[in-house]
Amino acid sequence: MSNKNGKPVLMRLNGELTDLGAATVEADRYEFVYPKHADALDVFRHSCAHLLAHAVFELFPDAQYGIGPAVDSGFYYDFLVKEPFTPGDLEKISRRMAHLVKQNLSIKREILSKKAALELFSQMGQLLKVELIHEKVDGDSVTVYRQGEFIDLCRGPHLPSTGFLKHFKLMSVAASHWMGDESSHSMQRVYGVVFPTREQLDDHLCFLKEAKARDHRKLGRDLDLFSIQNEIGAGLVLWHPRGGMIRYEVEKYWREEHIRSGYELLYTPHIARGELWETSGHRGFYSKNMFTPIEFDNTEYQLKPMNCPFHLVVFKSRTRSWRELPLRWAELGTVYRYERSGVLHGLLRVRGFTQDDAHIFCTREQILDELKDLIRFSLNILGTFGFTDLDVFLSTRPENFVGDPEEWDLATHALERALSESGVAFTVDPGEGVFYGPKIDIKIKDVLKRSWQCSTIQVDFNMPRRFDLRYTSETGQVERPIMIHRALLGSLERFFGILIENYAGYFPVWLAPVQAAVIPINDRNTAYARQVQNELQKKGIRARLESRSEGMGRKIRDAEMEKIPYILILGDEEEKNQDVSLRIHRSGDQGKMALEKLVQSILNAIEEKTFAKKVQH
């Protein structure tokens, strides 16, 4: 069965991925799946998770093994052990895994009765598996996979043997809880990666090294951009002055573009009476992500998890006419959502964040044009930040939804048509809409080709009904508007984290906290350096004078480490000629030039929202 792709490792039987040894009949449609096929990677990961559990089973006889799924980044397996795993333990486990690979053990599928499976795992002392069978198996039979003396509960499919798993690496170990329940067993979760070829594994490890160097948590600390501190609370972000300057520029651009595109700006409170969230439906559909209500003056209040109910109340504050529609309202509103401590991650998963919300209230006749305008607007702004490689998804009605199915169909069709007429390629994501309406999700790709959920556009018939929104139509009839929710950047905190990693901390000139460092060579040049700094600041350029007592080399090195775009070095000769010597971050020495010419070049880079580039002499 071997060919230029190597030996097959799986089969696709009637369109479904299955074990290579699955029985076929003449009427079945089947094809072989080879190691480099995209479909095979998840099975490599899942089989390597079993290999990991097998090694732990042999090295730590008292360990109980829980679950070991494939995930987007590789695989993991959860273990219940007496003592936490150490780095030395991971090395031993890795060596035993390599030994099992060399043995090339067959991986065989077996079907047991539920009773037999319970007896088997009970005799093995694997009580977590017994619990899984009781909770997850509804029928009378259980599928297990066996390799050598090791056996695991699993639906499969799996690779034919352990010999295919040569190219793996265990990455880390972390604490977890059994089935994600913080009140249950404390587990040890071992993470790993595996690929069909050594080249793929090496490429992935290089990618991880680059991603680690770009980690926004490290760069945020090194560049003094933000912090999250215990004194304040988990998941609550402190923006430091340099990070605050970047946020200011993002917000300024965001507001200017919205006003230019016909939006009006709103500001709403951080809390509201509990009844508001009853009316909106959030307490019914979103309560697990809301903080515990607080009470004062015999009234219950709730920290807001969303901005949209406030905008609905503003709409309802007076009589509305068809002549006012569409109404486009935008807000940079800070919201609060309870996220479990185990999922908090720097700026990317927090408990307090500023959502860049917009809500459009329009008629049915206006919905298509508004959606097309939203798509254009979103893509333009994302493109300004350098994100042009996108994946777009149309998410349709979920099982648990509210509203009229006919309205859902109308909204879904409008979203689909808007995307098509805008020339945007998209993928349908069945059942992934929110409870009140279908949506468009835009995922951006950074320079490492990682995908990030960013913009969302959601059509909502439900909320206007719940709040009884009305307007008077052209014929004098009372009509209900359609509401479109839109978050463009997602949240300022998360988007900032993405920007840090995408740019590796080296921001385009318009976002750089300090755009120019002015460095005098000697103390006698400080007065001229201050003069240059003042000239830059008058033009709106953020310039910092490096008047510290350290040597020039140290000052230049520090400015490079801070990733400041322009470094101006001023000595006796520059002062005499009233010019500057210029260094550009990542480009090095640019020679001497007139200050006026340099200022114009910097202003051009700010206006064009580009990185610092060489200046033509």
Q: Which residues are catalytic?
A: 308, 337, 355, 357, 359, 439, 485
The bridge status of strand 439-445 relative to strand 451-460 is: antiparallel
Max CA distance (Å), the chain? 93
Residue 579 has which token pair?
């010019």
Helix residue ranges per DSSP H, 385-512: 405-421, 462-466, 492-503
Which of 78-87 are b and which e, b meaning 16 or more Cβ less than 10 Å from the residue's Cβ? Answer: bbbbeeebee
CA distance 89 to 209: 23
Half-sphere exposure (Cβ direction) of 276: Cα atoms closer than 13 Å? 22
153 beta partners: 144
CA geometry: angle 440, 446, 450, nearest 5 deg: 80
CA distance 467 to 477: 18
In the numeric block, the tokens 């310039």 are attached to: 543
**Are 595 and 578 spatial neighbours (Cβ–Cβ below 8 Å)?**
yes
CA distance 298 to 486: 35
Distances (CA, A) of 155 to 33, 40, 78, 145, 152: 18, 16, 18, 8, 10
Nearest alpha carbon to residue 65 among 76, 52, 49, 79 = 79
CA distance 97 to 116: 28
CA distance 582 to 571: 12
Q: How far is CA 463 from the centre of its chain?
A: 27
Query: 571: which DSSP letter?
Result: -
Neighbours of 581 (CB within 10 A): 18
Half-sphere exposure (Cβ direction) of 607: Cα atoms closer than 13 Å? 7
CA distance 331 to 258: 10
CA distance 383 to 121: 55
CA distance 605 to 612: 6
Residue 251 has which token pair?
């917000």
Identity of the residue numbered 304: K
CA distance 601 to 611: 11
Query: 563: which DSSP letter?
Result: T
CA distance 211 to 203: 12
